[in-house]
Structure 1
Amino acid sequence: MNRYTVMNFREKLENLSISDYQGLKSPGLTCYLNSVLQVLFMTEDFREAVKRNCSEKPTSIDAHLGDLFSMLEREMAQTHNIVIKLGIKDVYEQRDAAEYFEKILCRTSPEASKIFKGELNHKSTCLKCNETNDSKNFFLVLPLSMGDPKSSTYSVRQGLNSFLKVQTVCEDNQMFCTRCNEKQDAEIEYEMTHPPDVLVLLLKRFSFDYQQNCYVKLQCKAKVVQTLEIKNCRYRLYAVVHHYGDLMGGHYTADIQSFETGNWYCFNDNTVKSVHKLYSKSEHQSISSTTAYLLMYKMGEFTNIWFANNY
């Protein structure tokens, strides 16, 4: 069998609608919930932690997630119990995937949610007396401003660097200094004192337009890097939650790389299909997307799987 025949056969196999994974059947228009549930299901450490804890507190959301995950391993699953547990009354109302991602993690056991939990130190320094104040807080998602609404492109790496770099506040944005007992110019910065096992970045595509006096969606093309390095920790992209449409009517899907097969799949409510070709690039290349909304990076994972599937 020659090389052309093999490649042609492989392409036909990849285009088959059959998938290694199952979709979610849910009431109403809850794609925002389906997309993040599939990401959590495809996060190995989270899935295993939920399974371990679901029997200890059968009334917690871990128990409902555990049941859902067990069913997803065999067949298409329904999300009715999760919808009820989260207090969703109107299943036809448009909601935000990032909001429900955090809601779920805040209601799961500490063992399960800890892989997404990082710590930031907010440091402010008065430029007059050099008084320094530190404030440490945990985070589950890092929100990245996409800047100028008129810009046609956005770099995720530059956005993260901007979030973490030292910034000077002055004039109307001055900070109150307790030593000077008045507002002063200051330097502020965020330092990641505890990098999470899974780093979740939120691209803030919804911005308030003062000319139109309403929120608008930023449709610029984001350059999504496949690897990141923070505090000597190396992260690799393994999931992207997409938002299509606008504030009036939108739809969420999730592209996720399997920790079991190394392939990428698009989870779109009750359907799942392979999208491996879209992501099978050099790990140093960026992926351009006008719909990327939530980005999930796993620390120190997938490198061997990526090489095995691309060479």
Structure 2
Amino acid sequence: MRFGMRGLRNDHLSCCVNTLLQTFSATWELADLLVKWEAAAGMDSFNVPLQLKKVLVAMRGDSSHPAPHRDFLHCLDRNCIRLSFQHDADEVFLSILNLMQQQMDDKVLAVEIQNLYKISVETYLQCLECNCVQTHNSYLLSLPLHIKEDHNSLEDCMTSFFEHQELTGINRCFCPHCETKMPSRQGVRLSTLPRILCIHLKRFRNIQGFTRKLDCGVTFPETFDFSEISKEAFSADLKQSGGRYTLYAVVVHSGSSMCGHYTAYIRDRVNEHWHYADDSHVRQASWEEVQKTYGGDCRHTAYMLMYRRNTKEQGRQPEFSG
């Protein structure tokens, strides 16, 4: 049975968590994995994955009333994501994923959940004298993109992220072959593409000790293909083919760096209609409305973008039950 989208009451300044819960609910891959998990008996009420599973089940229930999520909020509070404080959505998102990794007793399933979002990257450092290359492998759970104080496009932001940098002068790096500090070229390449790509538009910037929000425009498409981004973005051993993604959720920040509010646009997986969730209030929206969050003329701006990699399975309807 298909249920409507369900709102969440704002409880102790919980708009940030409410918005992220809407994106988690729209990520049916995460819901499928959580429903597989049989938590050990006696697990306490401050276990983040257990409480997340419960609230996602509740969000699939009767859409005429806001979903109960107070236990989840108190669970986060006990895990140092405090109630009654304003939070950064990307920081809370990463904290929830990391707490799930730490607190699930089924470690294989915990890795599967993390792998949904895991962006494997290769950082390289090339000596400009002898061409010796040093590499380091790591991963990200969201892609942080720097934006300019001007007009930006998502494609341009990604291209800038993967452009190499020349390290000269006092920034020279040690080359093990030359056995001294040498001018170098540094960059990042993708080793794997995630199923769910979370993009963080870095709108908050510290300037002379003060945090300021950048409301400049950042355009983003409903679909994009990684193959159209700079070839420098890929390592030689990229393990996955097919880099076409479709947008399904947008986390929006309204206001300033000191006083703000989070809401979300969510795309229905069945009929592909957009909906707008502002805490307990949920209504139908349109792509044209989503585009108004590009920024530039208002402070109602996109802050996080959730894209799903296109696969042949996309039309499969998941089963989700308590």
Q: TM-score, normalised by structure 2?
A: 0.79
Cα 1:69–1:89 change in 2 (3 A) is closer
Cα 1:156–1:89 change in 2 (3 A) is closer
The question of whether the paired residues in 2 share the 8 Å contact of 1:235 and 1:301 is answered with no
The Cα shift of 1:90 comes to 4.3
The Cα shift of 1:279 comes to 6.1
- Give the match's secondary structure for 2:152: strand
**Are positions 1:129 and 2:119 aligned together?**
no
Tell me which amino acid in the other structure corresponds to 1:70.
V
The question of whether the paired residues in 2 share the 8 Å contact of 1:225 and 1:287 is answered with no
Query: Distance in 2 between the 1:303 and 1:169 partners?
Result: 44
Q: Tell me the equivalent position of 1:20.
A: 4
- Give the match's secondary structure for 2:220: strand
Equivalent of 1:164, from 162, 165, 171? 162
Q: Tell me the equivalent position of 1:82.
A: 72
The question of whether the paired residues in 2 share the 8 Å contact of 1:264 and 1:279 is answered with no
How many residues get paired?
Answer: 277
The Cα shift of 1:145 comes to 0.5
Tell me which amino acid in the other structure corresponds to 1:236.
T
**Are positions 1:261 and 2:271 aligned together?**
yes
The 5-angstrom pairing of residues 40-189 of structure 1 reads: 40-55=24-39, 58-59=43-44, 60-75=47-62, 76-86=66-76, 87-88=79-80, 90-108=82-100, 109-147=110-148, 149=149, 151=150, 153-189=151-187
**Are positions 1:29 and 2:27 aligned together?**
no
The 5-angstrom pairing of residues 177-256 of structure 1 reads: 177-210=175-208, 213-230=209-226, 232-256=242-266
Q: Tell me the equivalent position of 1:289.
A: 294
Give identity over the alignment, percent.
26
Cα 1:126–1:145 change in 2 (3 A) is same
Query: Distance in 1 between the 2:136 and 2:273 partners?
Result: 41
Q: Where has structure 1 moved over 6 Å in runs of 4 or more?
A: 302-305
Tell me which amino acid in the other structure corresponds to 1:128.
E
The Cα shift of 1:278 comes to 2.4
Cα 1:304–1:194 change in 2 (3 A) is closer
Deviations 1:30-75 (Å, cap 9, x if unpaired)? 1111111110111111111111115457554222111101111113
- Give the strand-richer structure, 1 or 2: 1
Unmatched 5+ stretches in structure 1: 1-18, 281-285, 306-311
Query: Distance in 2 between the 1:89 and 1:120 partners?
Result: 28
Unmatched 5+ stretches in structure 2: 101-109, 228-241, 296-300, 316-322
The question of whether the paired residues in 2 share the 8 Å contact of 1:120 and 1:136 is answered with yes
Query: Distance in 1 between the 2:99 and 2:204 partners?
Result: 26
